[in-house]
Amino acid sequence: MLAKNSRLAAHNRAWFAERSIVTINLMSSPGAGKTSLLERTIRDNGAGRQVAVVEGDQETVFDAERIRDAGARAVQINTGAGCHLDATMVRSGLDALDPDRGDLVFLENVGNLVCPALFDLGELRKVVVISVTEGDDKPLKYPHMFAAADLVVVNKTDLLPYVDFDVDRCERDARSINPGVGWLPVSTRTGENLDAWYAWLQEL
């Protein structure tokens, strides 16, 4: 199954490259703030280019509706009992979304810190979003996800005074697994450090 997915992901990757489309696989556990981060990015035009989103959820179209309300095109993929997007689902979503040349396409994966790490979608970068309300032990509990990541976004930093979350410890643990991973604490609510997130996007 993984071998077949990898072949299809390679086709997706070539399709993106031919159209100069930058694609980011956005992963997190439920409630970490992936959709809120996308909404803020779209409204602020933080990516500096047109954004389109393939939304993955087991059920509902709520997140796709939120993305459209923020001002971007979105297509919803419901995976049913599935716990992740795969390359075939993404291909189907792209056919419906029909992104323009040069777009930035986010693949908002199903909320899960296990399965999405195993499936290549053809993306350029993998971004993991965690929140300070989840606990600082996530890198050690879910090492495959953090080993696969290009960037870790630590969301909800405005809540740090109210929760037991050691940002430095979490960063050390993540880099013990993946020494080169990027690390970016932000708050989508207050806008703290979002300029650094936008700068990262614009360099892709």
Residue 106: give its domain's CATH number: 3.40.50.300
pLDDT at 140: 97
C-alpha 154/C-alpha 187 separation (Å) is 8
Say whether pLDDT at 34 is over 90: yes
pLDDT at 96: 93
pLDDT at 55: 93
Identify the bridge partners of residue 127 per DSSP, sorted by sequence position. 26, 151
pLDDT at 168: 97
Q: How many domains does the chain have?
A: 1
Report residue 155 CA to chain centroid gap.
12
The structure's pTM equals 0.96
Query: What is the pLDDT confidence band of residue 131, given thresholds at 50, 70 and 90?
Result: very high
C-alpha 129/C-alpha 155 separation (Å) is 7
C-alpha 42/C-alpha 35 separation (Å) is 10
DSSP string of 25-50?
A: EEEESTTSSHHHHHHHHHHTTTTSS-
Residues 141-167: what's their mean pLDDT?
97
Say whether pLDDT at 198 is over 80: yes
C-alpha 97/C-alpha 129 separation (Å) is 24
Of 67-71, 73-77, 78-82, 120-124, the one with minimum mean pLDDT is 78-82
* Range of the structural domain that residue 61 is part of: 2-202
pLDDT at 81: 79
The pair phi, psi for residue 200, each rounded to 5°, is: -60, -45
C-alpha 68/C-alpha 76 separation (Å) is 11
Say whether pLDDT at 197 is over 90: yes
